[in-house]
Structure 1
Amino acid sequence: MTSLADPWPAPRPTRPVEGVVSLPGSKSLTNRALILAALADGPSVVRRPLRSRDTMLMAAGLAAMGVGVADEDDDWRITPGALTRDADVDCGLAGTVMRFVPPVAGLSTGTIAFDGDPHMRRRPVGEVLTALAGLGVDIHDDGRGSLPFVVRGTGSVRGGTVVIDASASSQFISALLLAGARYDSGVDIRHDGKPVPSLPHIEMTIAMLRARGVDVDDTDVHRWAVAPGPIAALDEAIEPDLSNAAPFLALAATTGGIVTIRDWPTTTTQPGDDLRHVLTQMGCEVSLDDTGLTVRGNGGLQGVDLDLHDIGELTPAIAALCALADSPSHLRGVGHIRGHETDRLAALATELGNLGADVTEHPDGLSIRPAPLHGGVFCTYADHRMAHAGVIIGSAVDGVLVENIATTAKTFPDFPGAWLDLVGPDPVGTA
């Protein structure tokens, strides 16, 4: 990737954007596949994985504990290991590493120390640590319920029934489900609290477990049980990351253009698939065929009233589109995204407001009314989804400068290059 100005002048297209985009693989699927391959009964190949900071940290953490991780062209060959090493696991800004790896570390015979970027020490993980302690894992966090912490493995985990409050993150449940089949008594998770956000991600976890022969019972609301047993080795091709499609499809909406995302799956557990329905409600024409998903903008955007509880990761991109709409919008059900890479609701209200948007912040969402926007610096708070929001605004407003555009590498290596390729020649605002 070439050197980037910081803040980055977000390019504004001078004509309707038309193009085809190939997305990198899904982070959510890649990191789940890596965990399951590490615990499987034989070697597996993860085909066309995302290779970004989050997934490289996951692979490095597993390798540090004794899992074999080998490059095979664009794929990863994963060979389960004995998990006998002491290790330091760098979580970076990856919630999946911080939450998915400790349940695996409990099965090791090593001392595994976890830490990450400074902001990660404020992201919630205490429910996972408390649950693991209740299942028989030796956890040392000095009572903080946050990074840094240490897992001292004994080679096995008792498992059993545990009650948790997963209202802050569906990853709390996925973390226990992914490793639960390897626990002596499996794991029976009961949720007690406000509704669990991002349920499609739990459904993704369950589908991947069942594909590997694991017995999962999810017949009761707020209860998920995994029976003890082997996790079958499985070679798996990773779907494109549909949430990363949001800013590219938004270009069709903001410029009245036509954008196609190649290889969009006809069926998927990824929450990003809901972009089809959101963009339709906002006035775009959306079609799905063998080529991929195509969005055609009509030169204007309608406001929406949406409950984004299950698709919270799309909130920054949708909020940016709402700020460009010609009627009011209300986005709700996403109080849990205050605990993501940053407090996304507060950050969106601040940064959109700084560019002239009329935004009211609510405990669980945002109200956005039409207002004239202007240029200025759009801060990202080291959050890749905030950067997506910034470039979407910049595609329709002159003079938007996106701070730390490089944070998009978390899930999309060289996002700026892909963005400029789609925007086309001679946009306004490029350096």
Structure 2
Amino acid sequence: MTAVEIPGSKSITARALFLAAAAEGVTTLRRPLSSDDTEGFAQGLDTLGYRIERTAAAWRVEGRPAGPAVPEAEVYCRDGATTARFLPTLAAAGHGTYRFDASAQMRRRPVAPLTRALRDLGVDLRHEEAEGHHPLTVLADGVRGGELTLDAGQSSQYLTALLLLGPLTRDGLRITVTRLVSAPYIGITLAMMRDFGVEVKRERTPAGELFEVPPGGYRAADYPIEPDASTASYFFAAAALAGREVTVPGLGRDALQGDLRFVDVLRRMGARVDVGADRTTVAGEGPLGGITVNMRDISDTMPTLAAIAPFATGPVRIEDVHNTRVKECDRLEACADNLRAMGVTVATGDDWIEIRPGTPRPAEVTTHSDHRIVMSFAVTSLRTPGITFDDPGCVRKTFPGFHEAFAALRAEWGV
């Protein structure tokens, strides 16, 4: 049995940084993810005047419920979607002029549903170039709150940003959501808000799902960050594909992250899965079977499944993943194109991909600077030696040490 230590969750670290910055008091974040995305978020907070002390084991954040400490700032969000969506929302609750820009990759990704919602709440927000995209400027004067309707069918991050904002408004928020993708991420948000002292009411209505967020702010916490379930998916898939066994400590039955449900997909394909109180184990026990699976709620693990799909005994069809087309790249087509370059038969539609069994041949993977494309096709390389990547270093976004960790796994297994 191989135990793999997975870095802290990117999603949880980003939310925890927002909550800590907004809370009354000093918050300690234990075992946060240190990667390009989270370092960019922390640097953005620093630029806005928040005080953060960082060590290898913990980050201490001095909260400012009143908002940024500086009246003006220019924040560069790098490639981070959470940074580019959460920080302008946090800044809106303060008072000052704050400009946000991002990498070319992040500039292409939409933020329009969120910025429309902020404008509906009275926030003076201006896009400088393409409407609904970075760069943007927030002329902040606090947020009164109130009612709004949101379409979160492209990204659950729009809803998360508004939920996190709610307790910082004067009157609270009532958000009616007409469409929602990656719903488990909202579960993460609500659970974490509860840990920082805020209870959100959630109910179904004829108009959609209603979230009622009370005003009153957050209280500081001592908060541990669990391992990243999306990152763990590569090691679970590797075990299933190679006929080996992997255990990830720290991810168990009570894990916040919905992406741990990827192991259920592997179980359906024939892997042995054991989810314990504080760890999860996956073991490969023979050939993987074909499957048709809806991955709307765990779409970040779609590339992981696509990368091992050719080795299944039957077709693998992944459905309801349109939102993967507006991630760091069009992940659905990136997976399809790379598999075709390896000689695998693939068909795609607007929100689905179907992969036929085959024997992938070595090729250079076109990564589109997307960390998940690299890490997914690293798993393919267990059965197809000679696969290379045009930008292997883009894994720094979420797991700078991925290649070393994966090489150590291969060495231990002798594959």
TM-score bracket relative to the smaller structure: over 0.9
Measure, in 2, the Cα distance between the counterparts of 1:151 and 1:323.
47
CA contact (8 A) 1:182 1:228 kept: yes
Residue by residue over 1:314-345, the C-alpha shift from the partner in whole angstroms, topping out at 9 and shown as x without a partner, is: 00001112122111111001101101110111
Q: 1:41 to 1:22 in 2, by over 3 A?
A: same
Measure, in 1, the Cα distance between the counterparts of 2:239 and 2:135.
43
Is the counterpart of residue 197 in structure 1 residue 184 in structure 2?
A: no
1:326 — aligned with what?
313
Q: 1:93 to 1:73 in 2, by over 3 A?
A: closer
1:178 to 164, 173, 176: 164
2:396 — aligned with what?
409
* Offset, 1:169: 0.4
Structure 1 outlier segments of 4+, above 2 Å:
288-292, 425-428
Measure, in 2, the Cα distance between the counterparts of 1:333 and 1:226.
29
Q: What's the Cα RMSD here?
A: 1.6
1:94 to 47, 69, 80: 80
What code does the residue aligned with 2:69 have? T
2:125 — aligned with what?
139
Measure, in 2, the Cα distance between the counterparts of 1:399 and 1:78.
45
Measure, in 1, the Cα distance between the counterparts of 2:317 and 2:349.
10
* Offset, 1:266: 2.2
Measure, in 1, the Cα distance between the counterparts of 2:50 and 2:39.
14
State TM-score, norm by structure 2: 0.95
1:28 — aligned with what?
11
Measure, in 1, the Cα distance between the counterparts of 2:412 and 2:56.
33
* Offset, 1:369: 1.0
Residue by residue over 1:356-379, the C-alpha shift from the partner in whole angstroms, topping out at 9 and shown as x without a partner, is: 111101110101111221111111
1:64 — aligned with what?
47
* Offset, 1:66: 1.4
2:380 — aligned with what?
393
CA contact (8 A) 1:356 1:374 kept: yes
The answer for unaligned runs of 5 or more in structure 2 is: none
CA contact (8 A) 1:301 1:321 kept: no
Where 1:153 maps in the other structure, the secondary structure is strand
2:199 — aligned with what?
215
Map 1:345-356 to 2 at 5 A. 345-356=332-343
Measure, in 1, the Cα distance between the counterparts of 2:192 and 2:249.
23
Measure, in 2, the Cα distance between the counterparts of 1:290 and 1:268.
9
CA contact (8 A) 1:391 1:402 kept: no
* Offset, 1:427: 6.0
* Offset, 1:280: 0.5
Measure, in 2, the Cα distance between the counterparts of 1:290 and 1:213.
25
2:99 — aligned with what?
113
State TM-score, norm by structure 1: 0.91
| Sequence identity (%) | 36
Is the counterpart of residue 165 in structure 1 residue 148 in structure 2?
A: no
Higher deviation after alignment, 347-356 or 222-231: 222-231
Q: 1:104 to 1:322 in 2, by over 3 A?
A: same
Residue by residue over 1:300-325, the C-alpha shift from the partner in whole angstroms, topping out at 9 and shown as x without a partner, is: 11111100000000000011121221
What code does the residue aligned with 1:206 have? L
CA contact (8 A) 2:166 2:215 kept: yes
Measure, in 2, the Cα distance between the counterparts of 1:380 and 1:418.
19
Where 2:34 maps in the other structure, the secondary structure is coil
Is the counterpart of residue 104 in structure 1 residue 87 in structure 2?
A: no
Measure, in 1, the Cα distance between the counterparts of 2:299 and 2:388.
25
* Offset, 1:188: 1.4
2:344 to 353, 357, 360: 357
What code does the residue aligned with 1:166 have? A
CA contact (8 A) 2:293 2:319 kept: yes
Where 1:58 maps in the other structure, the secondary structure is helix
What code does the residue aligned with 1:130 have? R
* Offset, 1:217: 1.4
Residue by residue over 1:76-119, the C-alpha shift from the partner in whole angstroms, topping out at 9 and shown as x without a partner, is: 11002351322222221111111111111112222211111101
What code does the residue aligned with 2:284 have? G
CA contact (8 A) 1:43 1:77 kept: yes
* Offset, 1:292: 2.2
Higher deviation after alignment, 74-83 or 41-50: 74-83
Measure, in 2, the Cα distance between the counterparts of 1:240 and 1:423.
21
Map 1:217-256 to 2 at 5 A. 217-220=201-204, 221-256=208-243
Measure, in 2, the Cα distance between the counterparts of 1:150 and 1:354.
42
The answer for unaligned runs of 5 or more in structure 1 is: 1-17
Residue by residue over 1:253-277, the C-alpha shift from the partner in whole angstroms, topping out at 9 and shown as x without a partner, is: 2211111112223212202210221
Is the counterpart of residue 83 in structure 1 residue 71 in structure 2?
A: no
2:304 to 311, 314, 317: 317
CA contact (8 A) 2:190 2:199 kept: no
Is the counterpart of residue 374 in structure 1 residue 361 in structure 2?
A: yes
* Offset, 1:413: 2.0
Higher deviation after alignment, 196-205 or 143-152: 143-152
What code does the residue aligned with 1:361 have? T
CA contact (8 A) 1:349 1:366 kept: yes
